Structure formats: structure tokens, C-alpha cells
Amino acid sequence: MTVVTSDLIRQFDVSGPRYTSYPTADRFVEAFGQDDYILALQQRRIGSNAKALPLSLYVHVPFCESLCYYCACNKIITKHPERAEAYLRYLSREIDLHTEHCGVIQHVSQLHIGGGTPTFLTDEGLQDLMSMIRRSFVLVPDGEYSIEIDPRTVDNDRLAFLRQLGFNRLSFGVQDFDPEVQKAVHRIQPAEQVFRLVEEARRIGFHSVNVDLIYGLPRQTPESFDRTLAQVCELRPDRIALYAYAHLPERFKPQRRIVTDELPLPAAKVAMLARSLEVFQNAEYVYVGMDHFALPDDSLAVAKRQGRLHRNFQGYSTQPDCDLIGLGVSAIGKVGATYSQNAKTLDEYYDTINRGRLPIVRGLALSRDDLLRRSVIMALMCQGELVFESIEQAWLIDFESYFAAELEQLQAMDEQGLVQLHEDRIEVTPMGWHFVRGVAMVFDRYLQGNRNRERFSRII
């Protein structure tokens, strides 16, 4: 078992990107608009066989019935289901605008419905959403089709309906099983409810169940979080995502309802993380990278062993690196060497579509240096190894000259046992996997000073 010391955790308790993309979304500019995005879609359509390059789709459903105080997602709190009905009509129109430029026979190997709360939609709404997707795209038989679940919004019948619609993966938002913590963040959901739903999901044939946890929430203590960890190990989901709570009330208004004095002190957060790593490793979970764990036979753990991991805006993925179309308010996409993001408010999203335009409000066309550094960062984040020759042949550079400053910075990490520097490659050690964001940050050209770093969440 890899032992992560408290000293290392404290050293890397700094802000930094999650690298679901490089460059990161804070580099997007408003100068990139609809015309740039359409050009990327058209180049994809002209330059390749649609069946040879499958797509990934992300659909954002922003609605929630109640407010979780820790939440930093783009969401709309409402108890009026008719708002979702109107939203689905605009989603349908956005899909039609896309297919005008990329065609209607595009094959999709990965679909993720996120939010907000996707299960805010009624059964009829979910069926309409899947019908409009299938009308314009071909969902391949062996694809990954996932949806985020608020346990308070589903029962056994709804799970069966989701399976019938074609979803084969579920992600349950748990955060913490402790009743006092749930009260402090305004999200009450008994552990027994989650256990029943996960058991039913397995019975009816979902391929994988993920559970999200957050440490650093108000009223959490290392002892209370120990109890949650024990319950999660008993639940034994296929995957676990363990996130550090980032308290940024100046940026996210709901967090202003959290009582600051009830937040755990930094030492307690360090203890919670260290204990989590130990518990999950003892429970035989594979540490995939960053804050993700998976059972040894889960496809994510298998992909890591076989060197087939990838990253996109949904995090680690087993699917080959492919273009991503983001649908809905605030959704982010990646097509070719471009990133793009939709309007962040419903009014702007609706208004743009009413004018017959795609709701792109900002994005980025990647430079050669961006693409080069993206390949380096993703190799480290996904494979944990970077072979200089592969980069040199792909980009026609001398690696040691181009990245001389970065290699010098990595010397300290080599001495700490986080990476191993060889003449021809860089390897991330088992210890280094716990701090792989910090390793990747060395190659981020845009992180030039603390001012930029403070825009991001904490690494641990």
C-alpha cells in the first residue's frame, strides 16, 4: 500500500486545475463565437468518415427542486416542471442547429446527462430527451451512457425506466451519510435509501454505479467521515469520486448559507483525505488518479492497467479521445482543435436559439503550443508516463530543450519520490498518482503566478 504522508498532503494543498481540458476553461475568450464553432463542425464532417470518429455528447439539465449549499454547478432552483418542458423544446432546436453542420449519422460512443438534477425531468421528459438524441445521432451498442442521480428523486420504477431508455451507468450524489452534515448542507437523504437504490440498480443490470463524496463540508470531523467511509465500503460501488469541498462564497452565492465556523480546520481535512486513501486501498479499490477510485474489474481500472485511460470534460473515461458536443445552458464542447461554451443563463440561451443561432458565447482555438502541452499533460494524467520520443516525433521538437525549465522543476518531485526522471521518459510513481495534478501543473504555460492559480479548486 502506498503511504501518503501528512507533510506531502500539506505541501500540495494548493489551488490548481483539474485538467479536464488544456488550456483550462478560464482561458476561453468571447472572441471565439458561433462562426468559429461551425467551421470546426464542418471540418470534422468534411475531413473524416463520421462512423470512424465517434462522438461524445454531454447534455446539461440545470434544474433542481432544492438548493444544496455546497453546490458550485450551474443550476436553477424551481418546483415548476413546466420550465423543464420549455427547456427541452430549446434543446431539440439546438440539436437541429448542430446537425445542420455536422450531419445526422454521427455515431455516439459516450453520453452523459448532468446538471443540476437530470432526474428533475419527468419520465415523459426523459423519454423526449432520449428520443431527440436518437433522432439525430446513432448510439453505438457498446457505448457508455450515464446519468447523474439525486437519490431523493428516484425509486425502483424510475431506475427500471432509466435502464429501459438505454442508460447503463449511474452516478449517485451522496457527499456524506452523516445526518448532521446533511442538515448543514441542506441535503437530507438517509443512507438506507441509497443502499436500496444501488442494490436495485445492480439487480436490473446497470454496468457501473458511481458514488460522489465530498470532504471538508461543515460539521464533518475525521471521526464522522470515518463512519461514512465505512458505509461506502459496505455499499461497494463500482467507482468512487472523492472531492475536496472548495469554499468560495464570493463566487458561488449558495455557499454563503454555510456557517464558516462549522467548516473543518485544514488539519482535519488532511486527516480525512489521508484516512480515505487508506480505507479505499484497504478495500482493494484501484486509485485511478486524482480523486477517482474503481474496483479492480471495473472498466476504468482495467483501462488504467492497459494504458487506455483518457480525460474529457466529464473526467476520466475509457472511451478513445474524441470530439465532444455540449448541449444545453453552460455546456462545454470540444471539436477538433477548439473548445466552446454555451450561454450560462437561460434567457441568453433561449434568445440566441430564437435568433436561429447556436448559443456559443466563448471558446478557444488552440495554438500549436497548446496542443503540444495538452498531449504532455494528458499523457501524465492518464498513463502516468511520458516517453520523450513519442512527443518528439509527433511535434518535431527536442523534448529536453523545449521543456528544459519544466524538467528542472520536476527534479524536486523526483527527489520526493513523486516522479522518476529517466533519460528518455518521465514516470509518475504510485505515490505521485495522488498528486498528479501538481505534476501536470509544471507543464501549464498559463499558470504564471498565484493570481491565476487562485481561480481553481484545491488540488487535495
For residue 219, the number of C-alpha atoms closer than 13 Å in the C-beta half-sphere is 15
> Residue 425 in 3-state DSSP?
strand
Find, among 33, 55, 14, the residue nearest to 442 by Cα.
14
CB atoms within 10 A of CB 358: 21
> Residue 286 in 3-state DSSP?
strand
**What's the one-letter identity of residue 440?**
A
C-beta separation of 204 from 163 below 8 A: yes
* Distances from the Cα of 162 to the Cα of 64, 117, 159, 406, angstroms: 18, 14, 5, 47
Burial per residue of 199-237, b for 16 or more beta-carbon CB atoms within 10 angstroms, e otherwise: ebbeeeebbbbbbbbbbbbbbbebebbeebbebbbebeb
For 243, the enclosing helix (H) or strand (E) is strand 239-244
- Binding-site positions for [4Fe-4S] cluster read 64, 68, 71
- Binding-site positions for S-adenosyl-L-methionine read 58, 70-72, 115-117, 148, 175, 187, 212, 246, 332
- Binding-site positions read 58, 64, 68, 70-72, 115-117, 148, 175, 187, 212, 246, 332
